[in-house]
Amino acid sequence: MPRRSADPARAWAVSLERRRPGLAADVLAGLAELYGHPAWKPRLDPISELVTTILSQNTSDTNAERAFAALRARYPSWGEVERAPVRSLAATIRSGGLAAQKAPRIKAALRATRLQSGTYDLNFLAAMEPLAARAWLTAIPGIGPKTASIVMLFCFGVPLMPVDTHVERVSKRIGLLPPKASLAFAHDAWLHLVPPEAMYEAHVALIRHGRGHCDALRPTCATCPVTQRCRFVNRRAP
Ligand code: SF4
């Protein structure tokens, strides 16, 4: 009886490289023709990034930014946000949608951060192993691997791939991920698909590709630079 791999995501990546050598590297090279080589630079401070990312769950960036601005205007300090009644906080961030769910998540994230670091500073995550940092973040109610990976990748340059709807769709169409891969599997598989130094570029390129050529309903495959290796176009693509 064949033994099951202890790490199915790694086993997938190894198998993919054996069956379709150089696929991820070729895809990145093709996408670089369109999007260049974006260099990592820090965005927001980590706690602001975490709160903004919670606010952006299931809504547009514009709505999330509006809600974040309202939150900062009403509560000048993170301590005030943590101590605010859920209903008041939810009313303040309602422009971001799902406010009744996001308010307790934000409060829980701030509480966990304060209990861990004594302040509202997430910089301790930078000293942790990437998967340990991800596990610390995902232990907070309402924070999944995508939100955790966004904080780690964008704030600290730690090579964790946030798998949003665009990354998932493009990856599955090309065949970088199994068609029925769960989001948890997808996050783990991406750890093994590209070298750590390529993770940021891969994430930015896949997002841009999913918003452009690889549209959910009408992908423009004829002008896509990875057509030759995409299983959406040719199920026997190498
Ligand atoms: S060939 Fe089409 S489906 Fe494949 S990645 Fe390009 S746009 Fe998406």
Task: Give pTM, 2 decimals.
Answer: 0.94
In the three-class reduction of DSSP (H, G, I as helix; E, B as strand; rest coil), residue 35 is classed as helix
User: Does 150 have pLDDT greater than 60?
Assistant: yes
Residue 74 Cα distances to 53, 77, 207, angstroms: 19, 9, 32
What fold does the segment set 8-39+162-229 form as a domain?
Answer: Endonuclease Iii, domain 2 (1.10.1670)
- Confidence at residue 4, expressed as pLDDT on a 0 to 100 scale: 63
- Confidence at residue 6, expressed as pLDDT on a 0 to 100 scale: 84
End-to-end CA distance of the chain: 30
DSSP state of 216: S
Tell me the C-alpha distance between 78 and 226, whole Å. 45
pLDDT tens digits for range 28-65: 999 999 999 999 998 899 999 999 999 999 999 999 99
Which helix (H) or strand (E) element contains residue 186? helix 183-190
Phi/psi of residue 220, nearest 5 degrees: -100, 75
For residues 155-182, give the mean pLDDT: 98
Q: How far is the CA of 171 from the centre of ligand 1 (A)?
A: 9
For residues 99-106, give the mean pLDDT: 98
Q: For residue 50, which amino acid is it?
A: L
Ligand 1: lining residues by beta carbon, under 6 Å: 170, 173-174, 213-214, 219, 221, 224, 226-227, 230, 232-233
User: CATH topology of 8-39+162-229 equal to that of 46-156?
Assistant: no
Q: Which residues are catalytic?
A: 146
CATH superfamily of 46-156: Hypothetical protein; domain 2 (1.10.340.30)
For residues 142-154, give the mean pLDDT: 97
Domain boundaries, the chain: 8-39+162-229, 46-156
- Confidence at residue 169, expressed as pLDDT on a 0 to 100 scale: 98
Instruction: Please provide the average confidence, as pLDDT, over all residues in the chain.
Output: 96
When pLDDT is cut at 50, 70 and 90, the band that residue 166 belongs to is very high
Contact 102, 93 (CB under 8 A): yes
User: Does 2 have pLDDT greater than 60?
Assistant: no
Q: Which of 28, 220, 232 to mutate to test the pocket of ligand 1 (most atoms within 8 A of CB)?
A: 232
